[in-house]
Amino acid sequence: MNKQLIVNKLYLLPAGHGMVREYFINTDLGADNPSMVHSPLFIYLLDTTDGLILIDTGLDEVFLNNPNYYDGTPMEGLLYLYMNEEHRIPHLLKSAGYRPEDVKLVISTHFHCDHSGGHKYFKHTPVLVQKNELPMLDNEDYSPAECRIKDLNYQVIDGDYQLCDNIRLIYTPGHSPGHQSILINTADTGYILLCIDVALTEGIFKHQVPYFAVDPETAAVSLSKVQAIAEQYKATVFYGHDARQAETVKVYPEFY
């Protein structure tokens, strides 16, 4: 990929939403707290001088019109995912005038079900993933099998990675073993930090509200890391699943 690549536009594509037990975004509430909160979901499409780059792929069709997917599992009552036909990857890309085969590169932040469900549409496209996330493909408790596709063209990186001058992948483990966030410099807006799930909400990012993570101590270190990067670059910050922010962000056809 051209190191001088220019990110012409960053599009946010709404890809469904969830209702999640509030405890997951604020563990101080206690695991027995029954409150549920709205959890918006976006994927991110970069229009660059080297072609299209897609960051994450949303939900798999196992969730299509099936919010009760997790009934009968340990996740019953904790998470409901809402996906309509318009949230399938082919439809999301078609809404922006593209097809899956137009995407030159997929950046996979991690293999949780709301971030890797559309990976199957990119059988021959390079998929950038962190080394420590790759073993999760064999973890049946991690996400549905449809979100853990093994026979893809994975390009494995280990740690922070400068994809080009204007796109930097930031290794932010804790929420998952190989989670990564992305710093993007766009032609129109300047620096944008996509926290993804190192900071699900503004409260987590700005006030260190404790949230559910596989490794809370490592997650806290990763959070401090992206806070420092955001400050260094005076970046616009997008949180992973912030309901209030979702009401104000620009979505396709508007761009950053």
- The domains located in the chain, with CATH, are 7-246 (3.60.15.10)
C-alpha span between 199 and 195 (Å, rounded): 6
For residue 1, the model assigns a pLDDT of 85
Cβ(17)–Cβ(47) under 8 Å? no
Distances (CA, A) of 249 to 226, 230, 238, 253: 20, 18, 9, 12
Give the confidence band of 152 by pLDDT, cuts at 50, 70, 90: very high
Average pLDDT, the chain: 97
pLDDT one-digit tens code per residue, 72-110: 999 999 999 999 999 999 999 999 999 999 999 999 999
